[in-house]
Amino acid sequence: MQRYFTKERENDLFKLSLDDTYHITKVMRMGIGDIIEVVYQERLYKARIETLSPVTALIIEELDTYNEMDIKVTIAQSLVKENKMDLILQKGVELGAYSFIPLKTYNSIIKIDNKDSLKKVTRWQKIVKEASEQSKRNIIPKVLPVMDLRELGALEFDLKILCTVNELTKSLKKVLQNKKKYDTIIIVVGPEGGFKREEETYLLSKGFISTSLGKRVLRTETASIVALSMINYEYER
């Protein structure tokens, strides 16, 4: 059953966006009377399509399904080429990421200004929404504005993971196996060329733990997927 998200509800009737209306009527070719899933304020409903322009759907029943992790995991990903960023977002959503931070670093191949940044974040948010529907999430993870390391260092999380291969690294497996209860985790992943030593030193001074994901060197688009998979293994119910 196709899933959609909405912020608009009046009594027992949901109103879907124009983009979702197009998808329902032109792509899925559904019509009045067809059944869809609708998420409203993180709660899941089965609903019947009542009108098509725009699509409205009448609640049939509320479903007792919640597919979110107990831990809110944020991925701070250094800016990479478009196809790699798309993959990171899609797989991150599938693995339960709560939010994403595009990160400007010294070795980032992609350089964007403030105007271009807004366009890219809007596009990335759409990718995240579509991935959330596909993977049956109860929320749409947020893509936050592009940040630099100073802005990132000022953020507060219960556990701060810096994915790196330097000699001071601890195994992420061992860090997670301490069984400490975390409500929020951030995972920082560098660009193809890695972080400069000064960048790593700064993040370590802000409470990040230099962490290894294994013996082999991973591509930047693989690192967050592996880290999220390990967190799922340790903490998923």
Beta-bridge partners for 9: 14
Average pLDDT of span 50-54 = 94
Residue 167 pLDDT exceeds 70 = no
Q: Identify the CATH class of 3-63.
A: mainly beta
Residue 136 to residue 148: CA distance in whole angstroms? 32
CA-angle at 90, arms to 118 and 203, nearest 5°? 65
Q: What is the pLDDT of residues 124-140, one digit of tens each?
A: 999 999 999 999 999 99
pLDDT in tens, 170-209: 888 888 887 677 899 999 999 888 899 999 999 999 999 9
Is the Cβ–Cβ distance between 189 and 165 less than 8 Å? no
Residue limits of CATH 2.40.240.20 in the chain: 3-63
CATH number of 72-235: 3.40.1280.10
- Which pLDDT score is estimated for 137? 97
Work out the angle at residue 92's Cα, subtended by the Cα atoms of residues 124 and 100, and round it to the nearest 5 degrees.
50
The C-alpha atoms of residue 84 and residue 79 are separated, in whole angstroms, by: 9
Distance (Å, whole) CA 88 – CA 80: 10
In the chain, CATH 3.40.1280.10 sits at: 72-235
